[in-house]
Structure 1
Amino acid sequence: MNSNLENLWEEARELSFGTTPQIERLHTPPTPLQYLRHYLSQNKPFILSASVATTLQWPATTLWTSTSYLRRTLSSSTVSLHLTPTGHADSLTPHPSNPNSLCFASAHIRRTSFSDAIDAINASHNTDLNKGFVAYAQQQNDCFREEYGALAGDCDSHVSWATEAIGSSPEAVNLWIGNELSETSFHKDHYENLYAVVTGEKHFVLLPPTDVHRMYIREYPAAQYNYSEETGEFKLELENPPRYVPWCSVNPYPLLQNKEKEMSEFPLYHNGPKPFEVTVKAGEILYLPSMWFHHVRQTPDNRGLTIAVNYWYDMQFDIKYAYFNFLQSLPAPNEPTSHTHSTNKNVSDGDEKHSEESTF
């Protein structure tokens, strides 16, 4: 089984990317037919580079570099701001009553004015103590059209070549505003994701769906951060009744003091084929195919902000989905069969519909 899976990982890369695998960069938008044939049907990512020929010639690319413009345009808007002590929302953190085990922690969500949200993002800092917070505007679930509608005219409502190829409009359009402290743990989505960076940069670590066993997906108890405005402290509480979330156990950037332990605990990830690492700069679009695992960090602009818009198109639940479900139902090498998990469409391994750049 071990060698068979290793052959699959290598062959999947060679078929998609050749013998020197890297994410392809396009300098002109694909036609709908090119996108359908060469990328969508092959589940193959690419970056559309910033140039005069790209579709990302939006008013947003200049207007959103002004915080005063954003404040003025959204002066009457109430938005959802996600607060965590470290900037790691929808991720694994030490269990509140047993620090030797982990739980899946979701952010505290504060409904606030946009102006207050920007102030909170700018004031964000994390600390080893349980004080201070990191704020991130990452509501998803069509938040751009629901909460930031006043900015709608600054961007395209859809990606035309993707809409024509897929045959439908995006199910959701989301806006992300954060800083360098916000980080998204490994996860996957059941969406075709067109991810456009407007200011700053996004740094993705990518793995194809065939690498599911390298993610060490395990079930963790769900917990929620609660933030006290009075004390400035967080309290992490387990959900009641208990709920368990299948989530990726791997951290691609372990602390130096933890690296040896991580490599020993997750050898299939650390000793397997190198993940793809790509930086998406302002004015560029990443096509992130459905079910690809991705981890996301960011570098802000000179104001300390990173702003992005992404378009979620429904994936086709076709033979690729059946193939992936079969693959992840197989026991992982050197692990007992009890580590296999549900592949339910809405909550499947590493797939919670409320995490950064899309979710499991």
Structure 2
Amino acid sequence: MRGKEVESLWEEVREVSLGNSVDRLHSRPTPIQFLRDFVSQNKPCIISNAISHWPGLSLWPAPSYLSTALSSSLVSLHLTPDGYADALVPHPLHPSLCFVSAHVQPTPFPQALNLICQPPNHLVAYLQQQNDCFRTEYRELESDCDGHIPWASEALGCLPEAVNLWIGNHLSQTSFHKDHYENLYAVVSGEKHFLLLPPTDVHRMYIREYPAARYSYSEESGEFRLELEEPVRYVPWSSVNPYPATGNEEQERSKFPLYFNGPKPFEVTVKAGEVLYLPSMWFHHVRQRPGDGGYTIAVNYWYDMQFDIKYAYFNFLQSLPYQSTDDPTIPESECEDSGPYASPKHLNSRFYSDESETNNVEEVNKDHGNV
């Protein structure tokens, strides 16, 4: 497919449905308003004053409170050398890229929090196990917030499939990805900075297949080792880095003209006390800024998406071979969704066996990305 038809779609979606910015609501919507104005239109929004009644909003920014409440808890700590996990990094053996996952180790919560608040030079720690971890590893905090978002649950007709807790510092960020979930993302401390692109922009993401790898960390040496998975497994992932390193800007722009020369992504900052509705299948890149406690905390609720005509439409759009008008010599042939990521029966999946990394039930709910 040549570019004009697809490229005009990117603009028309913004003109007809999305506008130029993400809507902000100053109070909780009614279920019918949320369903009509946002879920049915696959349109994000930010809701203020939606979690002002949570005790955690005032309690969790204090490290002493969390360390006391979770003093006996063993939690899944994700470790990387640079804050990039579920991301593309140089291949350890060849001049190419691979998709790498973090080293995960069970750690007493007070020790994990200390590594986040006072990061050593050689590693970045992040609490982000995406397997309904809030209701398993952090059960002691359940009375400090809601078990679900009532108006969202009524609008969506179900309770959340998973509730996850995220605690990290400014060094961790998430590469572009999408999820097959309706996501209600509540920030409790600090800020989250999102870049958002609608599903219709899929051809701008340069999705390619990369060999899967994983970090292995030695506490004795303090060193990381990057190990390719065996047998070899390939992960479809977005190749775009929206924040290229200084000096590499022109090179990145020339490699990914559809992203850098197309419509600007929606940029939103979600502050403590606010909730972002992130619709299913929207691409998002996330960075964060810590609050006064030295960390950012968020709770997100994953609700099952409807596999309806929108799902069929976006799958069809993604499957179209596409050749950019910016560079007619390089066809943009996107990877089709394959494996667990594509099938409704594998609902708990993101880019491959979901933002998931193994075939066991616990990992099936895991979200690829340090959001």
Give me the TM-score of the superposition, normalised by structure 1.
Answer: 0.93
**1:303, CA displacement in angstroms?**
2.5
Counterpart among 331, 336, 340 of residue 335 in structure 2: 340
Alpha-carbon separation, structure 1, partners of 2:134 and 2:335: 36
Paired positions, count: 347
SS in 2 for 1:56: coil
C-alpha contact (below 8 Å) 1:310/1:357 kept by paired residues? no
Alpha-carbon separation, structure 1, partners of 2:92 and 2:355: 21
- Would you say 1:139 and 2:129 are equivalent positions? yes
Could you report, residue by residue, the CA deviation over 1:20-46 in whole angstroms, capped at 9, with x for unpaired residues? x10000001110000111100000000
Structure 1's 23 and 357: CA in aligned 2 closer, same or farther, altered over 3 A? farther
Tell me the equivalent position of 1:129: none
Alpha-carbon separation, structure 1, partners of 2:153 and 2:116: 33
Alpha-carbon separation, structure 1, partners of 2:282 and 2:332: 23
**1:356, CA displacement in angstroms?**
2.9
Alpha-carbon separation, structure 2, partners of 1:349 and 1:191: 12
**1:122, CA displacement in angstroms?**
1.9
Tell me the equivalent position of 2:355: 352
Taking only the aligned residue pairs, the percentage that are identical comes to: 65
- Would you say 1:82 and 2:78 are equivalent positions? yes
Structure 1's 125 and 258: CA in aligned 2 closer, same or farther, altered over 3 A? farther
**1:291, CA displacement in angstroms?**
0.2
The 5 A counterparts of 1:238-249 are: 238-249=228-239
Tell me the equivalent position of 1:108: 103
Alpha-carbon separation, structure 2, partners of 1:278 and 1:48: 12
Structure 1's 190 and 339: CA in aligned 2 closer, same or farther, altered over 3 A? closer
Alpha-carbon separation, structure 1, partners of 2:332 and 2:301: 36
Could you report, residue by residue, the CA deviation over 1:44-73 in whole angstroms, capped at 9, with x for unpaired residues? 000012x4xx34320000011211111111
The 5 A counterparts of 1:251-262 are: 251-262=241-252
Structure 1's 279 and 338: CA in aligned 2 closer, same or farther, altered over 3 A? closer
Give me the TM-score of the superposition, normalised by structure 2.
Answer: 0.91
C-alpha contact (below 8 Å) 2:216/2:226 kept by paired residues? yes
The 5 A counterparts of 1:253-292 are: 253-292=243-282
Alpha-carbon separation, structure 2, partners of 1:266 and 1:313: 32
Alpha-carbon separation, structure 2, partners of 1:178 and 1:17: 31
SS in 2 for 1:88: coil
SS in 2 for 1:39: helix
Tell me the equivalent position of 1:32: 31
**1:181, CA displacement in angstroms?**
0.2
Could you report, residue by residue, the CA deviation over 1:211-269 in whole angstroms, capped at 9, with x for unpaired residues? 00000000000000000001000000000000000000001100121111110000000
Supply the AA of the counterpart residue of 2:206.
Y
C-alpha contact (below 8 Å) 2:167/2:296 kept by paired residues? yes
Tell me the equivalent position of 2:226: 236
Structure 1's 339 and 34: CA in aligned 2 closer, same or farther, altered over 3 A? closer
**1:125, CA displacement in angstroms?**
4.4
Superposed CA RMSD: 1.5
C-alpha contact (below 8 Å) 2:196/2:266 kept by paired residues? yes
C-alpha contact (below 8 Å) 2:84/2:172 kept by paired residues? yes
C-alpha contact (below 8 Å) 1:81/1:136 kept by paired residues? yes
Structure 1 unaligned residues grouped into runs of 5+:
127-131
Structure 1's 337 and 282: CA in aligned 2 closer, same or farther, altered over 3 A? closer
**1:337, CA displacement in angstroms?**
6.9
Could you report, residue by residue, the CA deviation over 1:82-103 in whole angstroms, capped at 9, with x for unpaired residues? 00000011000000111x2100
Tell me the equivalent position of 2:166: 176
Could you report, residue by residue, the CA deviation over 1:142-200 in whole angstroms, capped at 9, with x for unpaired residues? 00001000000000010011100111100000000000000000000000000000000
Bigger Cα displacement from structure 2, 225-234 vs 339-348? 339-348
Supply the AA of the counterpart residue of 1:69.
Y
